[in-house]
Amino acid sequence: MKKSKKQPKLKIKKGDQVEVIAGNNKGERGEVKSVIRKKDKFGNYDPNRVYVIVGGVNMIKKHQRRTGDVRTQVGIIEREGPIHISNVMLVAPNAAQPTRVQIREEGGERVRYSAKYDEVIGS
């Protein structure tokens, strides 16, 4: 049986407010809908292949044709596309400005910490 490796704690989570810092959507803000972590060929999570879906940012159009299932949505569907996690920056909740995130241990628990504003970021 395979041993399960402990996954490193991500600095950006679902529900966080982020700002895009690079690419076509630079400067736009939105809430993280989901975090996508891809695996390598050995089944381990690849730290270089982590993407986020940000609400209302990086909108793409998908042309969906009718399939055998009658419940599929057909036509041109507009939805959010993935953005590499290195191209977004967490917005500090109290200051409403982008900040780098550090992971610190406080009381035996690992917490996210704002490097710029010297405060603990919730959850």
Strand residues in the chain grouped as ranges (E)? 17-20, 29-39, 45-54, 59-64, 75-80, 82-84, 88-90, 101-106, 109-114, 119-121
The answer as to whether 3 is a domain residue is no
The answer as to whether 4 is a domain residue is no
Query: What is the predicted pLDDT for the residue at 3?
Result: 52
Ordered per-residue pLDDT tens for the chain, 123 residues: 455 555 667 889 999 999 999 999 999 999 999 999 999 999 999 888 999 999 999 999 999 988 887 788 889 999 999 999 999 999 998 888 999 999 888 888 888 889 888 888 876
Residue 101 Cα to chain centre, angstroms: 14
Q: Which domain holds residue 56?
A: 17-92
Total of domains in the chain: 1
Rounded Cα distance, 52 and 14, in Å = 9
Q: Which of these, 40, 44, 53, lies nearest to 8 by C-alpha position? A: 44
pTM comes to 0.82
The answer as to whether 99 is a domain residue is no
